Every structure is written in C-alpha cells, then in structure tokens.
C-alpha cells in the first residue's frame, strides 16, 4: 500500500510540475507574441543574425524591405555576395561588442534609394556575444531633403547678384521697350520702319527673357500667379520650341485635368527649357512626349511634398541620355556639357518649380532618353480667363500719378499713358508722391489711379507711400510695379491693398489693359 501511495504522490508532483511548466510556456509564448507585435509595429526593419550571419528573425518591415529569408545567410540573400558585406556593421559589432552605423545604396530590388543600417550585439548571461541585431531604416526622404537644402544654398549665393542685375536691367529695358511700343503706334504698318521696329522689339523680348531667368534665381523672383489650363498652354509652347526641327511632339492629358496656379512667364520658361533640352538631345531626330495627369500625394509617399492634389507632368525624349557622372550636377547653376550653353536652363527650372511649391526629378538611360517628372499643386474648377494671343491696345481717360525713381522710365511711361488718353503727373519717390496726392485732394482733382514703383533706393518706396496715401484717402486705387524686389508685395499684391501688379519692363498693351480693367 505504501508503494502505491508514493507512486500517486510522484504522479501528482509530476502533474503539478507539468502544469507549472505549461503555464510558464504560455507566459513566454504570450510575451513572444507581444514582442513580435511590438516589433512589427515599427516602421524600421529589424532582424536578428547568429554568429555565422544566418537570419534568425525578421519583423514585418524588414521582410517588406528585403524579403523573407529566415534561416538563410544574410549576405547571400541581401547583397548576392559569397562573403560578409564590406563594412558590415553586424560584423563590426561582433568584433568589439559596440554599436555601429553605416549608410549605403541598397540593391536594385529594394524599394529605397538610400538605407541606414545600425547594429548591436546580443550577449548571454556570461557576457558572450551570441547574436547581432540589425535595424534598417529607409532614409531616402531625409537624403532628398538634405540634397534640396544643398542645392538651395548653392543658388542663394547667386540670387543676390542676379536680383540686382535684373532690377537695373529691367529699368533699362522698360525705357527701350516703351520707346519701341510708342514708335510702333505712330508708324504705319506698311512702312518698312515698322518691320525694323518689330525686329528690335523681338530682340528686347529676348533680353526680357534673360532677366526673367535671372529673377528666377533671385529671392525677388516670387511668382505672380494666375490660374491656367495646361491643355491650352503646353502644346502651343512645345510647338513653338520644336518649330523647324526634325523632332516630333505628342501631348496626352486627362480629360478632367485640374488647373494650376502659376506665374505664367516663369512656367513658360520651365516648359521651354525642358523641351529645348529634349530637342538638343536628339540631333538626329526623335520624339518629345508630354503627359499631364491628375495625382494625389499622401503622407506616406516618399516625396518631399505636402500631401494634396497635384498635376504630374512628364516630359520625355529619346535622346542620348545623361551620363551618370553628370546626374548629380544637372541642376547646378552654370553647369553645362554644351559648347554654346550657359548652364542656366535646368537651374532655372529647378528654382521655379521649387518656388511654386512643386518638385522635379528625372530618370535617364544612356542612348535611350531622359524623362523629367514635375509635380505642381493643382486647383479644381475651370479657368476664369482663357489664354489669349496679342492683346489689343485699350485706351481710356482719367488722372494718373506715376512714381518711379528712374528718370528714363518716368518719361517713357508718362508718354505711353498720355498716348493711351490719360493725364499724368510724375513723382521721383514716395515723399513727392504723397505731397502730390495731398495737393490733388485739396484742389478736388484727385487721381483715378496711382502707379507705385516698389523699390526706391534711399527713399520711400511704393509700399510705404501707398500706406500713407490710403490714410488720407482710403478709396485710392493703386498698381504696384517693380523690376525686382524681395518683398512679398509683388506676389501677394491684393493682401496689401493694391488693385493690380505691373512687372517691368512695361508693354504698351499690358499697361492699357490693366488701367482699363481698374477703371471699368
């Protein structure tokens, strides 16, 4: 009987021990599952490797980034090598027991442009290294941001000089273009002189485009935006650039393509420069393709853009492609591989796109072609005013106060306004403009419109003068004007009370149209 009782006691002890062991296993299993859930919630890839570099564990992000390779050698499956990867941080950690960090370009089958790998060792109770933990992070966006910052810093050094040159040059061009416009009005269209004036005007227009490019670098090149429809603008611009060449052009866009708000002059430069580059890359002929489509950017996408609605614009050619050694420099100012190039084209494109809160990137293959992809913020609805060609001269009547510090500009714009039918008084700075306006009010002969030059070196500028005039006459109507300014007034003139904006140099037709619109 004693033997039986002892046997029963032993069996009970065994059952209790087994139950306790199972309970402990359940706890361990629960902890393991919670740990795996925690690691799977991390966006960084986490893996564990033994001393021979076999993969013992991968979390969800690591499998998505590199594939499921449990039990396999990491350097074989991740890097297609026969031995440990050069500079492997896990190996370094095995050697000294310390954390290590590297950054590298991943294999082509990994969906990331740049990854950061950190590694630390796992120790047993005796302090011996038994495994390594590897954490892989996609740093593509961070690197893109750093590259963008470096590019901006490069452009900053030239922006101050460019803006100053553009300001002075635009004042000169304003006088030249104004005189040509007046001469063309006074000469019969059949007169041979008229044709000469037209050619001279075209030359000045080319000079204006050069100052536009300089302004694109400068901090004062803030876009004066208007709403445009791409299906109207893109084919016309591309056809003009490709006219007379052996390059074909195709355009494709969504039927419900959203509009964009851009500075039309600056945006035209973007398209012209990209299409011209494509044409020059195909000296033996080929095809330029432009695709415009709606696109929504979400917060989890790997693009340096604010989430929202965008137009994706892809301009592709079949040319020689961009050499790998040049790809990091193509947006740098004054970098060019063309004998007759000045290296401004793509740098201007980059500056304008960034100034419009957009993004530009490219892909290229030697002898297969290049594609530039632009993202520009979109707006919904229809365009209020369709794109038009030459604007007819619109005359009017009324009293105009013109303020500009340049004598030549004052004289020619005054004459232009008088030809358009207006009575004009001029001021050389803000203080004189305020005095003239106060005198006009006192004599009950107020001005219908004031045109204010924004930047007056050493004197009261347009913004300050307009503020003072509004205090004595709140109903004043004003147009802000400048050839260059780092002031946000030019881009957001309505926020400062101005009715319109008139960038220099002035075109006869544009002056007439703006005044007619204000006084209508």
Those residues whose C-beta lies under 8 Å from the C-beta of residue 322, and which sit 6 or more positions away, are: 330, 362, 364, 370
C-alpha to C-alpha distances, 320 to 238, 243, 327, nearest whole angstrom: 20, 21, 13
Strand partners, 315: 290, 372
Q: What per-residue confidence (pLDDT) applies to 342?
A: 43
> 354: helix, coil or strand?
helix
Is the pLDDT confidence value at 155 over 70?
A: no
Q: What per-residue confidence (pLDDT) applies to 161?
A: 67
Is the pLDDT confidence value at 302 over 70?
A: no
The total of other beta-carbon atoms located within 10 Å of residue 82's CB is 8
Is the pLDDT confidence value at 338 over 60?
A: no
Q: How far is CA 207 from the centre of its chain?
A: 25
Q: What is the DSSP string of 270-302?
A: HHHHHHHHHHHT-TT-EEEEEEEEEEEE-TTSS
Q: Please, which pLDDT band fits residue 339 given cuts at 50, 70 and 90?
A: very low
* H or E element, residue 56: strand 55-58
What is the rounded average pLDDT of the residues 167-185?
80
Is the peptide bond between 361 and the residue preceding it cis, with omega within 30 degrees of 0? no
Q: Please, which pLDDT band fits residue 434 given cuts at 50, 70 and 90?
A: very high
Q: What is the DSSP letter of 73?
A: B
Q: How far is CA 107 from the centre of its chain?
A: 29
Whole-number Å distance between alpha carbons of 360 and 375: 7
Give phi and psi for 20, each to the nearest 5: -65, -40
Whole-number Å distance between alpha carbons of 270 and 268: 5
Of 83, 58, 222, nearest in space to 135 by CA: 58
Q: Of 198 and 18, which is predicted with more confidence? A: 198
The total of other beta-carbon atoms located within 10 Å of residue 41's CB is 10
> And the tokens for 326?
């040049």
> And the tokens for 110?
């990994």
pTM for this predicted structure: 0.48
Q: What is the DSSP letter of 418?
A: H
Radius of gyration, CA atoms only, the chain: 34
Q: What is the DSSP letter of 257?
A: P
If you average pLDDT over each of 165-169, 238-242, 482-486, which comes out highest?
238-242
Q: What is the pLDDT of residues 228-242, one digit of tens each?
A: 888 878 888 888 788
> 185: helix, coil or strand?
helix
E strand residue ranges, 339-448: 359-365, 369-379, 399-403, 423-427
Whole-number Å distance between alpha carbons of 333 and 347: 5
Whole-number Å distance between alpha carbons of 320 and 367: 4
Is the pLDDT confidence value at 270 over 50?
A: yes
Is the peptide bond between 405 and the residue preceding it cis, with omega within 30 degrees of 0? no
* H or E element, residue 352: helix 345-355
Evaluate whether 451 touches 403 at the Cβ level (below 8 Å): yes
Q: Please, which pLDDT band fits residue 293 given cuts at 50, 70 and 90?
A: very high
The percent of residues above 90 in pLDDT, for the chain, comes to: 22
Evaluate whether 492 touches 470 at the Cβ level (below 8 Å): no
What is the rounded average pLDDT of the residues 400-425?
90
Strand partners, 123: 129
Is the pLDDT confidence value at 386 over 60?
A: no
> And the tokens for 426?
């001029």
Residue tagged 């919630």 (tokens): 41
Q: What per-residue confidence (pLDDT) applies to 160?
A: 63
Buried b (16+ CB within 10 A) or exposed e, 220-232: bbbbbbeebbbee
Whole-number Å distance between alpha carbons of 3 and 7: 6
Those residues whose C-beta lies under 8 Å from the C-beta of residue 265, and which sit 6 or more positions away, are: 212
Whole-number Å distance between alpha carbons of 487 and 490: 7
Length of the chain: 520
The total of other beta-carbon atoms located within 10 Å of residue 212's CB is 20
Q: What is the pLDDT of residues 184-197, one digit of tens each?
A: 878 888 888 888 88
How much is the mean pLDDT over the chain? 81
C-alpha to C-alpha distances, 333 to 71, 306, 336, 341, 406, nearest whole angstrom: 51, 26, 9, 11, 31
486: left (phi over 0), alpha (psi -120 to 50) or beta: alpha
Evaluate whether 278 touches 288 at the Cβ level (below 8 Å): yes
């Amino acid at each position: 009987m004693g033997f039986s009782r002892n046997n029963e006691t032993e069996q009970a002890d065994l059952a209790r021990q087994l139950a306790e062991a199972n309970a402990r296993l359940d706890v361990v299993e629960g902890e393991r599952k919670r740990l795996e859930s925690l690691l799977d919630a991390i966006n960084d890839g986490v893996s564990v490797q033994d001393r021979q570099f076999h993969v013992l564990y991968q979390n969800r992000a690591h499998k998505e980034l590199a594939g499921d390779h449990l039990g396999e050698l990491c350097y074989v499956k991740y890097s297609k090598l026969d031995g440990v990867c050069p500079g492997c941080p896990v190996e370094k950690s095995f050697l000294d027991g310390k954390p290590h960090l590297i950054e590298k370009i991943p294999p082509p089958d990994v969906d990331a442009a740049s990854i950061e790998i950190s590694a630390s060792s796992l120790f047993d109770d005796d302090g011996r290294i038994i495994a390594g933990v590897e954490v892989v992070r996609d740093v593509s966006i961070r690197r893109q941001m750093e590259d963008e910052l470096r590019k901006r810093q490069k452009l900053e050094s030239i922006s101050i000089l460019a803006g100053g040159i553009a300001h002075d040059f635009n004042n000169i061009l304003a006088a030249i273009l104004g005189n040509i416009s007046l001469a063309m009005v006074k000469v019969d269209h059949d007169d041979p002189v008229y044709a000469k004036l037209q050619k001279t005007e075209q030359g000045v227009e080319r000079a204006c485009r050069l100052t536009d490019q300089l302004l694109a670098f400068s901090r004062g090149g803030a876009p004066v935006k208007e709403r445009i429809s791409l299906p109207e603008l893109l084919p016309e611009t591309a056809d003009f650039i490709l006219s007379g060449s052996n390059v074909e052009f195709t355009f494709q866009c969504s039927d419900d393509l959203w509009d964009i708000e851009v500075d039309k002059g600056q945006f035209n430069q973007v398209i012209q420069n990209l299409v011209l580059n494509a044409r020059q890359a195909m000296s033996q002929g080929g095809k330029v393709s432009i695709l415009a489509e709606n696109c929504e950017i979400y917060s989890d996408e790997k693009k340096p853009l604010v989430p929202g609605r965008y137009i994706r614009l892809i301009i592709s050619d079949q040319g020689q492609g961009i050499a790998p050694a040049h790809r990091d420099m193509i947006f740098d100012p004054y970098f060019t591989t063309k004998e007759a190039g000045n290296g401004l084209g793509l740098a201007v494109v980059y500056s304008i796109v960034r100034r419009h809160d957009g993004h530009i990137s490219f892909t290229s293959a030697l002898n297969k072609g290049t594609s530039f992809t632009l993202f520009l913020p979109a707006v919904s609805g229809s365009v209020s005013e369709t794109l038009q060609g030459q604007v007819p001269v619109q005359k009017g009547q009324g009293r105009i106060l013109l303020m500009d510090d340049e004598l030549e500009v004052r004289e020619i714009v005054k004459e232009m306004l008088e030809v358009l039918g207006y009575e004009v008084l001029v001021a050389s700075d803000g203080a004189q403009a305020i005095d003239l306006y106060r005198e006009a009010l006192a004599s009950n002969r107020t001005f219908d419109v004031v045109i204010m030059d924004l930047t007056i070196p050493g004197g009261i500028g347009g913004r300050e003068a307009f503020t003072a005039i509004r205090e004595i006459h709140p109903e004043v109507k004003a147009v802000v004007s400048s050839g260059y300014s780092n002031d946000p007034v030019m881009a957001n003139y309505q926020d400062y009370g101005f009715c319109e904006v008139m960038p220099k140099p002035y075109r006869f037709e544009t002056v007439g149209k703006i005044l007619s619109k204000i006084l209508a």
